[in-house]
Structures are given as C-alpha cells and as structure tokens.
Amino acid sequence: MGAAGLSGYTAEIKEPEQQGKTGESIYFTVVLNPREPASGYHVSTLVDVVDAPQMPEITPGFPRIRIVCNQAGIYKLMIRVSLVGKSSCAGVAYQPVAKQPVTLRIQ
C-alpha cells in the first residue's frame, strides 16, 4: 500500500490539556483511527516545544508520549503523528495523520 492508500487514517490526542507537578511523568495518549496501522507501517510521534519556561524531557512513543517538566509554568507543545513504512523503491513512505497542539500546566 502506498502513502496515498493511507489517506483514510486520522489520529487525535486524548486530553490535550493536562496539569501536573514538577518532576512527575505526564502522558499524552494518541488514538489512531482505524486503530491498527496498515500492514508494514508503524506510528511515529514527534513533539515540538512551542513555548515553555524550560525544555521538558520528552519520550515520544505510541500510544503514549511521556513528558517530564522540571520547572513550574505553562508548556505549549505540538504533537505530530505520522504513519511510516518502507516503500517499494527502498525508500520511505510517510503519511502525516495529525498535528495537534497540547498544553501542560505545571505547578
């Protein structure tokens, strides 16, 4: 299946606004629709820091992304979700399925 065959996929972040305390792990859950990636593809998550008092520790993953903030404040992040697979020409097939802002309020 080429990237064009992946156009029916979407993703969303459950609870895009969360609160927490400094030093604790906070998780954002990615929901893929349909639930399973197409055969030969995997889900890639990338997190961009848009605005933050300090760079958080970010562990991207699927279905959960782990964030640890070591300073109080408001953290604005952008989560990008894509399907990635090997193409027939020894390249990479890539299909973005979501780009969603999230906010953390850390005390």
CATH of 3-102, one of 1.10.1060, 1.20.1440, 1.10.760, 2.60.40: 2.60.40
Q: What is the pLDDT of residues 27-46, one digit of tens each?
A: 999 999 999 888 888 999 99
Which residues are CB-neighbours of 50 under 8 A, at least 6 positions away?
Answer: 76, 77, 78, 101
Give the DSSP letter of residue 6: G
pLDDT attached to residue 1 = 47
- Coil, strand or helix at 3: helix
Each residue of 57-102: pLDDT tens digit?
999 999 999 999 999 999 999 999 999 987 777 778 889 999 999 9
Tokens of 105: 């309020």
Q: What pTM was computed for the model?
A: 0.88
Q: Which long-range contacts (CB under 8 A, 24 or more apart) does 86-95 make?
A: 86/40, 87/2, 87/3, 88/2, 93/2, 93/3, 93/6, 93/41, 94/3, 95/3, 95/6, 95/7, 95/9
Cα Rg of the chain (Å, integer): 15
Q: Identify the CA nearest to 39 among candidates 78, 81, 5.
A: 5
Q: Locate 101 and state its tokens.
A: 């802002």
